[in-house]
Amino acid sequence: MSKLVTIYGGSGFIGRYVARRMAKAGWRVRVAVRRPNEAIFVKTYGVVGQVEPIFCNIRDDASVAQSMRGADAVVNCVGILQEAGRNTFAAVQTDGAERIARMAATAGISQMVHFSAIGADLESVSDYGRSKAAGEAGVLAHMPNAVIMRPSIVFGAEDKFFNRFAGMSRIGPILPIVGADTEFQPVFVDDLAQAAVMGVTGTAAGGIYELAGPERDSFRGLMQRMLDVVQRRRLIVGIPMLAARLMASAFELGHKLSLGIVPLALTRDQVRSLSVDNVPIGTELGFADLGIEPTAMESVLPEYLWPFRVSGQYADIKASAKNLKT
């Protein structure tokens, strides 16, 4: 019988790519999520019965243990960018990660891949970064040979980075951003999935991997790349950090007073995160150690950002027609 991997958060942005690659590698895949009815699409990644979504709450010991019963490996893709109710950074990214590792060790599972983030540091300026670092420590305490992956900002068809700002570019002539000079090194989601498979199968040695793409650019520079792809001219305006903190405080207050009805567009913790570069520090392992050549943004962004062009899928045809006229 083929081996079984349990992927916590396997229907999320990164998790679904890991699930697809594990299925293609011939593994049975158990996708542990809070809402399995919304994760039915993962079944299409394999043959009948190969990929199955199941319910799991990583805040609960019994739920986590049940989800990995009979598994040969586990992958933790669960993470949040904003706290909501009981889903705090500590509960999800620290305690949840430690719980999965502890249960895996108890079950005798030898392989674990854990997705953290570049910037994970117990001395980080953000609660997000500190919770990620504490989660890593919890994982290594129980699974010292775990493969820990720290990606920079991740891009791909379902991302909430380039898609979000491409959508904003439709609204008006100005594109406001926080941390305009902060540097990133975006990484393609399927490159991460390929690395995760290597961790699950034991091809990758245990350790911490800082995974970033081949191109390093400022937030402003990334937004200009996005605007070039969607063929829109917008004025990119960098919001000063002090103003951003005040805006975030207002958003948080409005969100709280409205009992969650007003969307939380920006938080103070996100502002703190955006004040620090999100690039590898160069002291950890990376794609080169895995033999993976990271994918450039220019080869992927046009494949999924074209709907944000003024003429959508017909933009290239219209441009070609103009050339014929001249």
pTM: 0.93
The DSSP code for 178 is E
Contact indicator for 114, 149 with CB cutoff of 8 Å: yes
Q: Is 176 exposed, middle or buried (0-12, 13-18, 19+ CB in 10 A)?
A: middle
What's the pLDDT score for residue 8?
Answer: 98
Question: Residue 34 — φ and ψ, nearest 5°?
Answer: -75, -30
Indicate the DSSP class of residue 238: E
What separation in angstroms does the CA of 112 have from each of 57, 71, 303? 18, 11, 32
Closest CA to 122 of 132, 112, 130, 114: 130
SS3 268: helix
Position 54 scores a pLDDT of 97
Look at residues 141, 74, 76 and name the one whose alpha carbon lies nearest to residue 114.
Answer: 76
Q: Where are the domains of the chain?
A: 4-156+185-214+277-294
The residue ranges of the chain whose pLDDT is under 50 are none
pLDDT tens, position by position, 79-133? 999 998 899 999 999 999 999 999 999 999 999 999 999 999 999 999 999 999 9
pLDDT of residue 117: 97
Tell me the three state secondary structure of residue 111.
Answer: strand
Is 71:4 a contact under the CB 8 Å cutoff? yes
The fraction of the chain above a pLDDT of 90, given in percent, is: 90
Q: What is the reported pLDDT for 318?
A: 65
Q: What are 75's strand-pairing partners? A: 7, 113
pLDDT of residue 317: 67
Q: How long, in residues, is the chain?
A: 326
φ/ψ of residue 94, rounded to 5: -105, -65
- CA pair distance 4, 204, nearest whole angstrom: 18
Percent of the chain with pLDDT over 70: 95
What architecture is the 4-156+185-214+277-294 domain classified under in CATH? 3-Layer(aba) Sandwich (3.40)
Tokens of 105: 């060790």
Give the per-residue pLDDT at 263.
86
Joined together, the tokens standing for residue 281 give: 């520090």
How many Å apart are CA 182 and CA 177, to the nearest integer?
A: 11
